Amino acid sequence: MKNNLKIFFLLLITCFFSGCEKDDICAEGTPTTPRLIIEFYSKDNSTVRKLVANLKIQGEGATTTLNFNQVDTIELPLKTNENFTNYSFNINSTASTNVNNTDLIRFNYSVNDIYVSRACGFKSFFNINLANGVVKENPSGDTFFWIENFEIVKSNVETEEDVHIKMYF
């Protein structure tokens, strides 16, 4: 009888602890969806990084802008629910002269969703199209591109540690 009672309590304790679950908290530092890393270079010397003054970037349909001043590297989020993201790049955005200029840039890519965990959900990786990964246009009435050229350095956007695109101006 004593042995049966011990076995019963052992089974009861085992059932009690088997129902416990790990907390559903996404740990700090868990990799998330990476942003696109862009570096700016001189159009005259493609090895020299160049600072951009008063750069204002706005996503298509967005009400807020990203403002940068005197930077040579920026990080931009890409849409995870579409295969493209449109941004307007406005240089010298606070200047009152006619040097203020906007280029419309479209990033074309494919999205790959990766399951991280129940707590963290999914993260997305992007693969920039090599044929038409970056397309630039001018808004109507604008005849001058301030971004002269671009180069896709790394088409797989999997981390924020690598430069993905170089832009020359």
Buried b (16+ CB within 10 A) or exposed e, 126-152: bebbeeebbebeeeeeeeeebbeebee
Tens-place pLDDT, residues 47-92: 999 999 999 999 999 999 999 999 999 999 999 999 999 999 999 8
**Can you tell me the mean pLDDT for 155-166?**
97
CB-facing half-sphere around the CA of 122: CA atoms within 13 A: 8
Tens-place pLDDT, residues 6-16: 666 566 566 56
Q: Which two tokens stand for residue 117?
A: 């965990």
H or E segment and range at residue 43:
none
Tens-place pLDDT, residues 123-140: 999 999 999 999 999 988
The whole-model pTM stands at 0.82
